[in-house]
Amino acid sequence: MGTDPPAGVLRVDKPPGPTSHDVVAVARRALMTRRVGHTGTLDPFASGLLILCLGWATRLAEYLAGLSKSYQAVMKLGEETDTHDRTGAVVARSDRWRGLSQEQVAAALERRSGPQLQVPPLHSAKKLAGERLYAKARRGELVTPQPVAVSIENICLTGWDPPCVSFETTCSSGTYVRAIARDVGLDLNSFAHLMELRRTAVGQHAVTAALSLRELQLGNIEGHLLDAVDALPHLPRLPVDDAAATDIRHGRTVPAPAGLTASVILILWRDRLLAVGSAGGGRLHPEKVFDA
């Protein structure tokens, strides 16, 4: 790695227990750089894919944070907790789950698919009046979070061991799988909370390609650090010549190929990321310029 701090994107398989910020702190210590950020929080009890941006690549975090996410989950029927997961206190119980069939539960999960308004858990990082909801919850404040527009692209039952039910889902960024379990439990009139959660993918990035937390602690990231272009396969790319690159470095627009329109586009020079910009009206507009 030399003496320069690393720059790029790392995929880490977070184990249950540490917070997402704990993983960031591990990366900062192991790689001796302060410029580390993650692109989407995982609850401490959850495991799976956490994407870190290092060095100047922290400026790319917003293009990864909004990607859809895939999960494997286990929920327990018959109990609701105040956090909607196993870490919380039980606030309601029901034995109605005993009369439910596998088909009924599978149908209830499938009914959750599609665009919808979801009420975030009170114990969450969503903000209300400028403050995190979990801070209000810890003070015992009774507040009602505002529903948020989310989309559940697909969801299906994968395991049946009542009162525990396994399922998989792919959903939009900002969707709480804990809230899915809560809502399915209410739909079934039997309550439910999340017992296990594992994030298996973020966009086209899979947890199978991630390094372990132990490898990160040891600084063993060789072969795992993605450059900016490889980390953003979902975005269109446009190479430019030397003359255009000079203008873009100075923040000037340059001609774009006829008919090209894109709200976010990777501008490449000699196969390296020069800038992120937009295209429209026959012009290429640089918005974030890097030292390519």
**pTM check: above 0.75:** yes
Q: What is the pLDDT of residue 1?
A: 42
| pLDDT-derived band at 235, boundaries 50, 70, 90 | very high
| Mean pLDDT along residues 161-180 | 97
User: How does pLDDT run across 180-228, given as a tens digit for each residue?
Assistant: 999 999 999 999 999 999 999 999 999 999 999 999 999 999 899 999 9
The catalytic site residues sit at 43
| pLDDT-derived band at 155, boundaries 50, 70, 90 | very high
At the top level of CATH, which class does the domain 69-202 belong to?
alpha beta
- Tell me the CA distances in angstroms from 151 to 32, 170, 203, one per residue in order: 38, 9, 14
- Mean pLDDT for all residues in the chain: 92
Domain at 8-66+204-230: CATH code: 3.30.2350.10
Q: Does residue 131 register a pLDDT over 80? A: no
Q: Distance from CA of residue 257 to its chain's centroid?
A: 33
Sequence-separated (6 or more) residues with CB below 8 Å from residue 125 = 41, 132, 133, 134
Q: Do the domains 8-66+204-230 and 69-202 sit in the same CATH topology, yes or no? A: yes
| pLDDT-derived band at 121, boundaries 50, 70, 90 | confident
Q: Does residue 39 register a pLDDT over 70? A: yes
State the DSSP string of 218-253.
TT--TTTPBPHHHH-TTS-EEE--HHHHHHHHTT--
User: How does pLDDT run across 73-95, given as a tens digit for each residue?
Assistant: 999 999 999 899 999 999 999 99
- Give the residue extent of every domain in the chain: 8-66+204-230, 69-202, 235-289
Share above pLDDT 90 across residues of the chain, in percent, rounded to a whole number: 86
Rounded distance, CA 235 to CA 265, Å? 6
Rounded distance, CA 19 to CA 29, Å? 16
Domain at 235-289: CATH code: 2.30.130.10
Rounded distance, CA 245 to CA 61, Å? 23
Instruction: Decide if 272 contacts 248 (C-beta within 8 A).
Output: no
Q: What is the pLDDT of residue 146?
A: 83
Long-range contacts of 42-45 (CB under 8 A, 24+ apart): 42/14, 42/199, 43/85, 43/178, 43/197, 44/16, 44/17, 44/18, 44/19, 44/87, 45/16, 45/17, 45/85, 45/86, 45/87, 45/197
Kindly report the number of other CB atoms within 10 A of residue 104's CB atom: 13
Between 146 and 16, the higher pLDDT residue: 16
Q: What is the pLDDT of residue 17?
A: 96
Burial of 289 from C-beta contacts in 10 A (0-12 / 13-18 / 19+): middle
User: Tell me, what DSSP letter sits at residue 7?
Assistant: -
